[in-house]
Amino acid sequence: MGEFDNLERIARDLRKDILIMLNKAGSGHSGGSLSVLDILVALYFGGIMNYDPENPEWEDRDRLVLSKGHACPALYAVLAKAGFFEKGLLWTLRKLGSPLQGHPDSKKLKGIDAATGSLGNGITQAVGMALAGKVLKKRYKVFCVMGDGELQEGVVWEAFMAANHYKLNNLIVIIDYNGLQIDGAVANVMNINPLKDKLEAFGFRTYEIGGHVYKNLIDTLTTAKRNALSPTAIIARTVKGYGVSFMANRVEYHGVAPTDEELKKALKELDNGV
């Protein structure tokens, strides 16, 4: 038994929840939800974040801003598992009246720290939260999970510049680097590399790790929490559609929900631990 078997087991179950949610909704973003999931599982169940599902607005809690808001099915599955709401609510995703909006809405669902979806806006809010932590003399950390394609938005770099200027050592940015965006490979649509150099030039202590390897995630996030000098960026190399063979690395599954048949196939794969 490995040290992180438990997290892997949780992630496998949550992948199933994500696919069922998306299938029931009939629309949504499969690829990015599956790629980001291990990052979120590490944050919520790997002993990284301080939170209290009984008191979701606890002012000393660590904040999570999912700047790539379209991957919210992964966050919803994680929040349900963490006890923020009943799991049954997951099956209402994207339906009229549901607090589980197509992109996260802080006003509708407990546990969502910021409404996101329009790319680049999440990181600006995360910078504001980290700055507020300084003003209010709070020790909380702000974790901002971003997509790699999202980094093409200009405002992201305005936010990074501000994070460095104000020495936001309480801000930890994790980039779900799956290499794909709607129109194709990030490198072909609008290249963001050399990313590590850029982030370092913007004053971030930067790490590059495998984004589906729990040991990497937990070790790096733990180190990032201790960084007292600067904001931290973690480039987590992931696979879009991770965990489902026919979705993996396929750009076609960016914004598509699995059909009934695809769901059956995917669940079987996950059960067999392929």
Compute the distance between CA of residue 7 and CA of residue 94 in angstroms, rounded to an integer: 27
Q: Tell me which residue has tokens 């733990």.
A: 222
225-254 b/e (C-beta count within 10 Å ≥ 16 → b): beeeebbbbbbbbbbbbbbbeebbbbbebb
91 binds another protein (CB under 8 A): no
Measured from the CB atom, the residue of 131 and 256 that comes closer to another protein is: 131
Per CB under 8 A, the list member of 87, 165, 264, 268 interacting with another protein is 165
Question: Cβ 132 to another protein, closest distance in Å?
Answer: 3
Q: Which of 53, 56, 128, 255 binds another protein (CB under 8 A)?
A: 128
Between 158 and 208, CB nearer to another protein = 158
Strand (E) or helix (H) holding 232: strand 232-237
- Tell whether residue 115 is a contact of another protein (CB under 8 A): yes
Q: Among 88-96, 113-121, 183-191, 259-267, which window interacts with another protein (CB under 8 A)? A: 113-121
| Interface of this chain with another protein, residues 184 to 243, rule: CB under 8 A | none
Chosen residue from 1, 96, 135, 228 binding another protein by CB under 8 A: 135
- Residue 107 makes CB contacts below 8 A (sequence gap 6+) with 115
Please select the residue that binds another protein; options are 1, 2, 54, 59, rule is CB under 8 A. Answer: 59
Candidates 46-54, 118-126, 233-241, 259-267 — which segment interacts with another protein by CB under 8 A? 118-126
Binding piece for another protein, criterion CB under 8 A, among 38-46, 152-160, 189-197, 233-241 = 152-160
Closest of 262, 264, 260 to residue 248, by C-alpha: 262
For residue 170, give the 3-state DSSP assignment.
coil
Query: Which secondary structure element, helix H or strand E, spans residue 180, and what is its range?
Result: strand 180-181
Q: Which of 267, 232, 220 is nearest to 39 (CA)?
A: 220
**Tokens encoding 202:** 């913007």
In the complex, the residues that contact another protein under the rule CB under 8 A are 59, 63, 105-107, 113-115, 117-118, 121, 123-133, 135-136, 154-155, 158-159, 161-162, 165-166
